[in-house]
């Protein structure tokens, strides 16, 4: 009797999950972007969602759930149903660094399933236009000559711009005063207005303001120049050799999401990344496409683990205070 009930229960659960997977998706999906609208995460998510909806046949909404370096938005995604309808957009900051800074109510590895690696962004050292420097060397001199620590905008403790700022402090010995925002979109508004001195920003966020002459750019933190902005030198060329950092992004879903759904989301994203029009839009922002062999869920999981091992010691040593 017991056995029959158990067998019936298992069959019921199995058919329920098959129905869930077979009909997936049958209503709109939501991507939770943990930073402000108009910032680099938001822009990338919207470009991809626009194309992914053609493959999935359902609308994809972007919800900006901001605060605490992106950990509020990731927490929301972790607590949502593991049915493939809520997706967590994040990056090296939210899905790696935050674990070394905040007492998160979730485990970055155990509570999330990796879906796919997204393009990466070299960082770019930018300042307000009022800074008189013409090169990175002159900018470093200007920063050193300030009587109080220069102000650097970030998207909150543990965000990409914050980790990049810590790295910059480490390599230059210059102390910065961080000004946390809910994303680098509002930080950029204040940089253009001259309210803060600098940002070590994602290139995709700064590039249009640099092109428009609204801010000054000194160097990109990569071994090679950005193809869509070839006049900006690399940190190696401009005088901070070895200051390399690219901010990769990715998509995750809550743990226990059926494997078939993870595979559907992965395939829809890969299709979007392979679309030449999408590619062009992303590359024009200075983004670098992931290598083909890095596009499986497992590859993102492996990267996330390796990055945790690499970054947590440095972040913990920096004794970061949360905002
Ligand atoms: N990616 C963040 C944003 O979209 C910025 C950051 O991590 O610094 O605003």
* pLDDT for the residue 8: 53
User: What tokens does 151 get?
Assistant: 């102000």
Q: What residue owns the CA closest to ligand 1's atom 4?
A: 41
Task: Report how far residue 23's alpha carbon sits from residue 128's, in angstroms, rounded to the nearest whole number.
Answer: 51
71 within ligand 1 shell (Cβ under 6 A): no
**Sheet strands (E) in the chain:** 29-33, 60-64, 86-91, 112-128, 151-154, 177-180, 198-202, 215-220, 246-254
Residue positions counted in the chain: 323
State the CB neighbour count (10 A cutoff) for residue 161.
Answer: 30
HSE-CB for 97 with a 13 A CA cutoff: 31
Q: Which residues pair with 29 in a beta bridge?
A: 60
40 within ligand 1 shell (Cβ under 6 A): yes
Q: Which atom of ligand 1 is nearest to the CA of 201?
A: 8
Q: What is the pTM of this model?
A: 0.91
How far away, in angstroms, is 184 Cα from ligand 1 center? 5
Q: Three-class SS of residue 261?
A: helix
The parts of the chain modelled with pLDDT lower than 70 are 1-20, 321, 323
DSSP class of residue 149 equals P
Domain extent listing, the chain? 27-120+248-317, 121-238
Burial class (CB in 10 A: 0-12, 13-18, 19+), 58: middle
45 closest CA partner among 24, 53, 245:
53
User: What tokens does 83 get?
Assistant: 């049915």
* pLDDT for the residue 32: 98
DSSP class of residue 27 equals S
39 within ligand 1 shell (Cβ under 6 A): yes
HSE-CB for 245 with a 13 A CA cutoff: 27
Q: Which atom of ligand 1 is nearest to the CA of 94?
A: 7
Q: Topology of domain 121-238, per CATH? A: D-Maltodextrin-Binding Protein; domain 2 (3.40.190)
CB 254 within 8 A of CB 77: yes
35 within ligand 1 shell (Cβ under 6 A): yes
Q: How far is CA 126 from CA 26, 143, 159, 242, in A?
A: 44, 12, 17, 18
260 closest CA partner among 7, 33, 23:
23
Task: Report how far residue 154's alpha carbon sits from residue 101's, in angstroms, rounded to the nearest whole number.
Answer: 15
User: What tokens does 90 get?
Assistant: 């994040």
Q: Which of 69, 152, 161 to mutate to test the pocket of ligand 1 (most atoms within 8 A of CB)?
A: 161
* pLDDT for the residue 228: 85
93 within ligand 1 shell (Cβ under 6 A): yes
181 closest CA partner among 8, 1, 38, 318:
38
Q: Which residues pair with 88 in a beta bridge?
A: 32, 252
CA angle at 233 for the pair 231 and 239, rounded to the nearest 5°: 155
* pLDDT for the residue 180: 96
Burial class (CB in 10 A: 0-12, 13-18, 19+), 37: middle
* pLDDT for the residue 26: 96
Domains 27-120+248-317 and 121-238 are alike in CATH topology: yes
> According to the CATH classification, is domain 27-120+248-317 in 3.40.190.150?
yes
30 closest CA partner among 6, 62, 4, 1:
62
* pLDDT for the residue 318: 80
Q: Which of 43, 122, 202 to mutate to test the pocket of ligand 1 (most atoms within 8 A of CB)?
A: 202
* pLDDT for the residue 17: 59
How far away, in angstroms, is 198 Cα from ligand 1 center? 15
160 within ligand 1 shell (Cβ under 6 A): yes
* pLDDT for the residue 159: 93
66 within ligand 1 shell (Cβ under 6 A): no
Task: Report how far residue 219's alpha carbon sits from residue 300's, in angstroms, rounded to the nearest whole number.
Answer: 28
* pLDDT for the residue 71: 96
CB 311 within 8 A of CB 92: yes
Q: Helices 184-192 and 203-211, interaxial angle, to 10°?
A: 30
How far away, in angstroms, is 250 Cα from ligand 1 center? 13
* pLDDT for the residue 9: 53
* pLDDT for the residue 320: 75
């Amino acid at each position: 009797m017991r056995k029959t009930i158990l067998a019936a229960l298992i069959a019921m659960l199995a058919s329920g999950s098959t129905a869930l997977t077979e009909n997936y998706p049958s209503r709109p999906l939501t991507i939770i972007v943990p930073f402000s609208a108009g910032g680099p995460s938001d822009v990338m998510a919207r470009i991809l969602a626009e194309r992914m909806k053609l493959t999935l046949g359902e609308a994809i909404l972007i919800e900006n759930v901001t605060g605490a370096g992106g950990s509020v938005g990731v927490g929301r995604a972790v607590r949502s149903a593991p049915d493939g309808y809520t997706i967590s957009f994040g990056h090296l900051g939210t899905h790696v660094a935050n674990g070394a800074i905040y007492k998160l109510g979730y485990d970055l590895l155990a509570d999330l399933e990796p879906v796919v690696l997204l393009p990466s962004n070299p960082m770019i050292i930018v300042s307000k236009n009022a800074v008189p420097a013409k090169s990175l060397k002159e900018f470093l001199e200007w920063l050193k000559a300030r009587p109080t620590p220069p102000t650097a905008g970030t998207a909150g403790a543990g965000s990409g711009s914050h980790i990049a700022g810590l790295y910059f402090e480490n390599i230059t010995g210059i102390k910065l005063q961080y000004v946390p925002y809910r994303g680098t979109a509002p930080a950029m508004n204040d940089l253009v207005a001259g309210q803060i001195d600098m940002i070590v920003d994602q290139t995709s966020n700064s590039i249009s303001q640099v092109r428009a002459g609204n801010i000054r750019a000194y160097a990109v933190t990569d071994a090679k120049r950005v193809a869509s902005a070839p006049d900006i030198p690399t940190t190696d060329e401009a005088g901070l050799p070895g200051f390399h950092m690219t901010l990769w992004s990715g998509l995750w879903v809550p743990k226990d999401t059926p494997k078939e759904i993870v595979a559907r989301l992965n395939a829809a994203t890969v299709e979007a990344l392979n679309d030449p029009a999408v590619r062009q839009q992303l590359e024009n922002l200075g983004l670098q496409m992931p290598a083909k062999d890095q596009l499986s869920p497992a590859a993102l999981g492996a990267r996330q683990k390796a990055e945790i091992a690499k970054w947590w010691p440095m972040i913990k040593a920096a004794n970061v205070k949360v905002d």
